[in-house]
Amino acid sequence: MSIGYRVLGALAICISFAAPPFAISTAIAATGSVEVSTAPLLWNPEDRNETRTGKLSWAGGIEITSPNKDFGGWSGLAVSKDGAAMLSVSDTGHWLTAILLYDERGRLSGMAEAKMAPLLGLDGNPVAGKSLGDAESLVVQPGASDSLMGTAYVGFERAHRIWRYDLKTYGADARPEQLLTQRHFGRLNNNGGIESLEVLPPAEPGGEPRILAITEDTLDPLGNIKGFIADGHDIAWFGLRQREPFSPTDMAVLPDGNLLLLERRYSPLAGVGMQMRLVPGDSLGKDAVLDGEVLIDVGQRYSIDNMEGLAVRQEENGDLFVYLISDDNFNPLQRTLLLMFKLDLEMQPDRTPAPMSEREDIKRLQSPGEDGSSAEAGQSEEAGQEPM
């Protein structure tokens, strides 16, 4: 996609963010614009020519830093259809919006106009603390012109629940509608609840969307990871076959109806790891046990961290792009990363040299005016929420 198209798309998102949806209001006066800096990444620092791993091709990535003490813990991700904007939620109860920047080859290269706001609770006040604000999953039904200012579904751990926010009407001032709680889906592990969330079409024409959810590590009696499809308050349970030592962290429904599942692992000896599975959509159903082909399985020699958020978008020509965001756990030894890949299910695992080395890309991106970093949007006032 041309750089001109990206710029026009970004300007459109800037205008929409300047309007009521994410404008400063009484409820979000403590946040607003947030200062961020970005730096481009090599996918494999040990082999800069590796641009395809498994069935995903590298399409750019950035490390994001901010002096704001509430910046971090990003666990859910949505990206607009044109790739111009992103929306994320953190496990300390914050929204993050930003414009995404790309180089002339269409690779992710930076971020601008970052804004943060607290998620509001049922009473209209910011959700307080880790116990109530542990947002782990996000899915957005787009609004007008496929913008992210639509209907957002957010899944929470600890105080397990699924809330729905009307961003189209109220933006960051939206109070949630409570859809599901433990009263409906039962007891889940405290820190192993609803980690992956999606929305399915209604079972009947004119009905409400169904909710697809997979827990992180709540197991059924057979040792499978528990998931469910909710049609209103009717819950149909299924299982996801464990691929130890991995745990699911997010998923997306692809245009063909199949599921792309993101999973992560961690151990003090092996470090972090990431894999993705392709789960056949027609295997979904009550009492089913889901499994699928592993598309990628990588360890810490690649530019990954604690990858938790996943979003997928499709270009008009049919190309599928996958975006991933990491949760840094507010740990100075971890990083907030935003990665982009092209997903090609027709390709076999291969390693293809890049037409231009990634190292040359980085030199170009770091030249004056082209460093891939966001323009400084102004230092935000900190929300005062306690860190993890």
pLDDT in the model for residue 182: 93
Query: What residues form DSSP beta bridges with 214?
Result: 196, 227
Phi, psi of 97 (to 5 degrees): -120, 150
pLDDT in the model for residue 131: 81
Does residue 354 register a pLDDT over 90?
A: no
Kindly indicate the confidence band of residue 100, based on its pLDDT and cuts at 50, 70 and 90.
Answer: very high
Kindly indicate the confidence band of residue 4, based on its pLDDT and cuts at 50, 70 and 90.
Answer: very low
Residue 357 vs residues 54, 354, 361: alpha-carbon distances, Å: 20, 6, 6
Q: Do the Cβ atoms of 380 and 32 come closer than 8 Å?
A: yes
Query: By C-alpha distance, which of 110, 114, 64, 54 is closest to 362?
Result: 110
d(CA 251, CA 212): 10
Least confident range of 5-14, 101-110, 187-196? 5-14
Which residues 6+ apart lie within 8 Å of 333 measured at CB? Answer: none
Q: Give me the mean pLDDT over the 228-239 stretch.
A: 97
Query: Is residue 260 packed enough to be buried (19+ CB in 10 Å), middle (13-18) or exposed (0-12)?
Result: buried
d(CA 72, CA 369): 26
Does residue 43 register a pLDDT over 90?
A: yes
Does residue 144 register a pLDDT over 90?
A: no
Kindly indicate the confidence band of residue 346, based on its pLDDT and cuts at 50, 70 and 90.
Answer: low
Q: Give me the mean pLDDT over the 141-155 stretch.
A: 89
Does residue 322 register a pLDDT over 60?
A: yes
pLDDT in the model for residue 270: 85
SS3 letters for 4-65? HHHHHHHHHHHHHHHCHHHCCCHHHCCCEECCCEEEECCCCCCCCCCCEECCEEEEEEEEEE
Can you say whether residue 76 is alpha, beta or left, with left for phi > 0 and alpha for psi between -120 and 50 degrees? beta
Query: What residues form DSSP beta bridges with 95?
Result: 89, 117
pLDDT in the model for residue 26: 32
Cα torsion for 162, 277, 359, 81, to the nearest 10°? -50
Kindly indicate the confidence band of residue 379, based on its pLDDT and cuts at 50, 70 and 90.
Answer: very low
Does residue 128 register a pLDDT over 90?
A: no
- The domains located in the chain, with CATH, are 3-365 (2.115.10)
Kindly indicate the confidence band of residue 189, based on its pLDDT and cuts at 50, 70 and 90.
Answer: confident
Kindly report the number of other CB atoms within 10 A of residue 49's CB atom: 13
pLDDT in the model for residue 12: 39
Kindly indicate the confidence band of residue 89, based on its pLDDT and cuts at 50, 70 and 90.
Answer: very high
Give the percent of the chain with pLDDT over 90: 74
Does residue 368 register a pLDDT over 70?
A: no
More confident site: 345 or 229:
229
d(CA 123, CA 128): 12
Does residue 260 register a pLDDT over 80?
A: yes
Q: What mean pLDDT value characterizes the chain?
A: 85
Supply the pTM of this predicted model: 0.83
d(CA 325, CA 249): 11
